[in-house]
Amino acid sequence: MFDAILVGAGPSGCAAAYDLAVAGKSVLLLDRQPFPRVKPCAGALTIKTVRALRYSVDPVVRTIASGIHVTNDLDNPTELRSQHPVCLMTVRAEFDHFCLQQTIAAGAHFHLIDDVCALEEKDDHVALRSGTAEFCARFVIGADGANSKVRLLLGDQPWFRRALAIEAHAPLHKDSHPMEIDFGVVPRGYAWSFQKGDHLNVGLYTEQQGIKLTRASLAEYLKRKFQREDFDHFVGHYLGIGGVGYTPQHQRIFLVGDAAGMTDPVSGEGICNALKSGQAAAKAIIKHSDAAQVAYQANLAEIHDDLEFCERAIGKFYGHLGTAVSALRLPGIKRPLMKGYANGMTLSAIRKSIFSLPFGLGSKT
Ligand SMILES: Cc1cc2nc3c(=O)[nH]c(=O)nc-3n(C[C@H](O)[C@H](O)[C@H](O)COP(=O)(O)OP(=O)(O)OC[C@H]3O[C@@H](n4cnc5c(N)ncnc54)[C@H](O)[C@@H]3O)c2cc1C
């Protein structure tokens, strides 16, 4: 009998497991892949993500971006500069392996399983069955990503939506900046190019339901951007969004990270809320084991507030893309935005520091 079982050893599972282990709880992390493993992800850690981490990840930082180069469909380039770093670039296989090592060092146990086949919530514990073994814990946390089996088994997903992103490695390009975002290349999303030291991580993100992102769409983007279309390590994955509607339905089984739809739908940034939601669930279990469900819901308030703003912003931002990207050039928007990013603020917190935002986004309407 463990105090907690985490299904999934990505950022959300490790964040929850780390806090639980440090608090002296017995913790079992289950994953169906041995680490290090490939996780489709651009591996960009914003400063708010770095602040949410319990330890330094300097050993796995490849490059540091102190500005964002932005275009609207590769036109009208804008340089959003900052005096301080706004993003640390990692490779997810390295980042996740490092975080798992820290979590095991904090006292968590790690075990490989084939899959989660059944979950049964009893009065004082949860029974979890994989294809080959059975486990018991006082709490089970589903941290198994956008295609969460735990969420599926709970049947808890009317609020859940999926976004999609594909990515690959491309050769370094002499004209590229550390962090480039090209809006307008795909509907309700963007293309990116991030420097990782020995290669560029390039990709496409969309929140638009039903859009197919393919090798061909990525090749076309690279050809337009760099006049060459060679890439390798091509992968893609769904991202979990819609988490503003997630309310824990069970006393002893919670969802965190992408499983709980915690990714920001505007940017597809998910590691920050994966860490924060994992920590929120752990805190609820540590401090309020008899009323952890209510405590976890309360602990999600700040994340929900930010996601609520992002849900309001997405249609307005992508629906008026030309105006929105041009607005990024205005000093009254650009400066607080970059200062906020460099200070580790969330989008909804930055919004409060901007005097006037277009599309009524400055106030809750
Ligand atoms: C192409 C792409 C680029 C992205 N770029 C960024 C970025 O630059 N910055 C950013 O902040 N976010 C980015 N994201 C989002 C980010 O990757 C996710 O939000 C984040 O990984 C969520 O963390 P998680 O721990 O909830 O889930 P995951 O990282 O998906 O981890 C889930 C874990 O659960 C395991 N698992 C799955 N199913 C089972 C099962 N049945 N049994 C046991 N284990 C299971 C998996 O093996 C995995 O280890 C990107 C996403 C994609 C797809």
pLDDT for position 176:
85
Rounded Cα distance between 240 and 213, Å, is 17
pLDDT averaged over every residue in the chain: 95
How far is residue 3's CA from residue 214's CA, in Å, rounded to a whole number?
43
Residue nearest atom 43 of ligand 1, based on CA coordinates: 31
Ligand 1 mean position, distance from CA 68 (Å): 24
Q: Which of 239, 246, 266 to mutate to test the pocket of ligand 1 (most atoms within 8 A of CB)?
A: 239
Ligand 1 near 181 CB (within 6 A): no
Quote the pLDDT of residue 365. 40
In whole angstroms, what is the distance from residue 16 CA to residue 141 CA? 9
How confident is the model over 141-175, as pLDDT tens digits? 999 999 999 999 999 789 999 999 999 999 998 88
Q: Which one, of 125, 92, 103, 90, lies nearest residue 9 by Cα?
A: 103
Q: Which residue has the higher pLDDT, 31 or 353?
A: 31
Q: Which of 90, 267, 231, 237 is nearest to 166 (CA)?
A: 237
Look-up of token digits 């990505």:
10
Answer with the residue of higher pLDDT: 240 or 176.
240
Q: Is the minimum distance from the CB of 250 to ligand 1 under 6 angstroms?
A: no
Domain layout of the chain by residue ranges: 2-309
CATH of 2-309, one of 1.10.300.10, 3.40.50.300, 3.50.50.60, 3.30.365.10: 3.50.50.60
- Edge-to-edge, what's the strand order for the sheet holding 200-206? 75-81, 67-72, 179-183, 189-195, 200-206, 161-170, 232-241
Instruction: Compute the average pLDDT of residues 353-359.
Output: 68
User: Which amino acid residue places its CA nearest to atom 37 of ligand 1?
Assistant: 144
Q: Residue 217 — pLDDT band, cuts 50, 70, 90?
A: very high
> For position 351, what pLDDT does the model report?
85
Residue-by-residue DSSP string for 116-164: EEEEEE-SS-EEEEESS-EEEEEEEEE---TT-HHHHHHT--TT-EEEE
Does ligand 1 have an atom closer than 6 angstroms to the CB of 178?
A: no
Strand 161-170 and strand 200-206: the pairing is: antiparallel
Compute the distance between CA of residue 126 and CA of residue 114 in angstroms, rounded to an integer.
Answer: 19
Cα 315 to ligand 1 centre (Å): 25
- Compute, in angstroms, the gap from residue 278 CA to the centroid of ligand 1: 13
Please, what is the angle between helix 11-22 and helix 92-105, to 10°? Answer: 20
Q: Concatenate the DSSP letters of all residues of 48-63 into one string.
A: HHHHHSSS--GGG--E
Does the Cβ of 268 fall within 6 Å of ligand 1?
yes
What's the pLDDT tens digit per position in 244-266? Answer: 999 999 999 999 999 999 999 99
Q: Is the pLDDT of residue 71 over 70?
A: yes
If one residue of 29, 31, 190 were mutated to test the ligand 1 pocket, choosing by the most ligand atoms within 8 A of its CB, it would be: 31
Is residue 8 within 8 Å of residue 257, measured between CB atoms?
Answer: yes
Q: Which atom of ligand 1 is nearest the CA belonging to 46? A: 11
Q: Is 270 in the pocket of ligand 1 (CB under 6 A)?
A: yes
The mean pLDDT value for 297-319 works out to 95
CA distances from 29 to 11, 239, 286 (A): 12, 21, 17
Report d(CA 114, CA 112) in Å as an integer: 7
Instruction: For residues 194 and 52, give the distance between their C-alpha atoms in angstroms, rounded to a whole number.
Output: 22
The residue type at 164: L
pLDDT at 359 over 70: no
Q: Which of 192, 271, 306 to mutate to test the pocket of ligand 1 (most atoms within 8 A of CB)?
A: 271
Which of ligand 1's atoms lies nearest the C-alpha of 148?
38
Residue 40's contacts (CB-CB under 8 Å, 6 or more residues apart) are: 92, 165, 166, 167, 235, 236, 237
25 lines ligand 1 (CB under 6 A): no
pLDDT of residue 157: 85
The answer to whether residue 300 scores a pLDDT higher than 80 is yes
Identify the residue whose C-alpha is closest to ligand 1 atom 21: 271
Which is the closest atom of ligand 1 to the Cα of 257? Answer: 26
